[in-house]
C-alpha cells in the first residue's frame, strides 16, 4: 500500500489550474524530490498532501485511507501524521523556541517528561541548544528554519513535507542539515516529499525526482535521477 496516492487530482485557483489531473504514488520510506519552474504546482501539491488545500476533483489517499476527495477534506491536517517545513509557515512569534517545538507534542498528549526530553533532543539535533528560551523574532533566518525543522520532526511524522527548507542556510549548514535529514530518515523512516530548485539537494536527498510542468507530471523525467 502506498503512503501517498493521488488519483486524477486537480486543483485550480479561480480560473488558474495549479494541479491538472495528477495520478501519483509515493511508497513508504521513499524520498521524492519535486522539481520544476516557478508556478508549476509544487507547493500546491504539498498543500494537497497536507490537507491545507482541497482537491477540486480526484481522490487523495494517505497510507491507504481516503484523506480528501472532490471538494472536501475527510481528514484534517493534524490527523494525517504529517510534519511540514514550509517557507511561509511561520513560527509562532509569541512562543519560545522550546514552546514552538513542544506544540505538536502537547496536541498529541505526550507526557510532560517525555516532551521535555524530546524538545531537548530536537534542539540539539538542529544545534540550537543555547536558544531554548529565545523568541523566533530574535533568530536569524537560518536559525528559524532549523527551529521549523525541529518542530516538524518532534512528533516523528510518517510523512515529512519540505518546501525549500534550506534556502536561507549557508553551504556548510545546508550540508549538515541534509546529512541530518538523511540520518533522521534512516532512524525514523518517514516518507519525504521535498521541493527544491537545487540540483545538489535533489541528488543527495532524493530516491526519485519528479518534474512538474504546468500542473502535470512531466513523464520524461519521472523516476530519473536529478
Ligand X SMILES: Nc1ncnc2c1ncn2[C@@H]1O[C@H](COP(=O)(O)OP(=O)(O)OP(=O)(O)O)[C@@H](O)[C@H]1O
d(CA 94, CA 22): 39
Q: How far is the CB of 44 from ligand X (least distance, A)?
A: 3
Q: Site for ligand X (CB under 6 A): which residue of 3, 5, 41, 67? A: 41
Pairwise CA distance, residues 125 & 183, whole Å: 11
Shortest CB 159 distance to ligand X, Å: 18
Binding mask 21-40 for ligand X (x = CB under 6 A): ---------------x-xxx
Take residue 55 and report the three cell numbers written for it: 482537491
Q: How far is the CB of 99 from ligand X (least distance, A)?
A: 29
Contacts of 7 (CB under 8 A, 6+ apart): 23, 58, 59, 60, 61
Nearer to ligand X, 96 or 198 (CB): 198
Q: How far is the CB of 215 from ligand X (least distance, A)?
A: 7
Task: Tell me which residues in 43-82 interact with ligand X (CB under 6 A).
Answer: 43-44
| Whole-number Cα distances in Å, 160 to 21, 27, 122, 163, 190 | 23, 13, 15, 10, 7
Which residues of the shown chain bind ligand X in the complex (CB under 6 A)? 13, 16, 18, 36, 38-44
Amino acid at each position: 500500500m502506498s503512503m501517498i496516492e493521488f488519483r486524477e487530482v486537480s486543483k485550480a485557483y479561480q480560473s488558474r489550474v495549479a494541479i491538472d489531473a495528477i495520478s501519483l504514488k509515493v511508497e513508504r520510506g521513499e524520498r521524492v524530490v519535486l522539481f520544476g519552474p516557478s508556478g508549476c504546482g509544487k507547493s500546491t501539491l504539498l498543500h494537497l498532501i497536507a490537507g491545507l488545500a482541497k482537491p477540486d476533483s480526484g481522490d487523495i489517499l494517505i497510507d491507504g485511507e481516503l484523506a480528501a476527495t472532490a471538494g472536501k477534506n475527510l481528514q484534517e491536517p493534524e490527523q494525517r501524521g504529517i510534519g511540514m517545513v514550509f517557507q511561509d509557515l511561520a513560527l509562532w512569534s509569541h512562543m519560545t523556541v522550546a514552546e514552538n517545538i513542544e506544540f505538536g507534542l502537547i496536541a498529541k498528549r505526550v507526557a510532560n517528561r517525555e516532551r521535555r526530553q524530546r524538545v531537548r533532543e530536537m534542539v540539539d539535533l538542529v544545534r540550537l541548544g543555547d536558544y531554548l528560551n529565545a523568541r523566533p523574532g530574535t533568530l536569524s533566518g537560518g536559525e528559524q528554519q532549523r527551529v521549523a525543522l525541529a518542530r516538524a520532526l518532534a512528533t516523528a511524522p510518517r510523512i515529512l513535507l519540505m518546501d525549500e527548507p534550506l534556502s536561507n542556510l549557508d553551504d556548510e549548514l545546508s550540508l549538515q542539515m541534509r546529512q541530518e535529514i538523511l540520518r533522521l530518515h534512516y532512524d525514523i523512516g518517514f516518507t519525504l516529499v521535498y521541493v527544491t530548485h537545487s540540483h545538489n539537494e535533489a541528488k543527495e536527498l532524493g530516491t526519485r525526482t519528479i518534474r512538474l510542468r504546468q500542473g502535470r507530471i512531466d513523464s520524461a523525467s519521472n523516476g530519473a535521477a536529478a
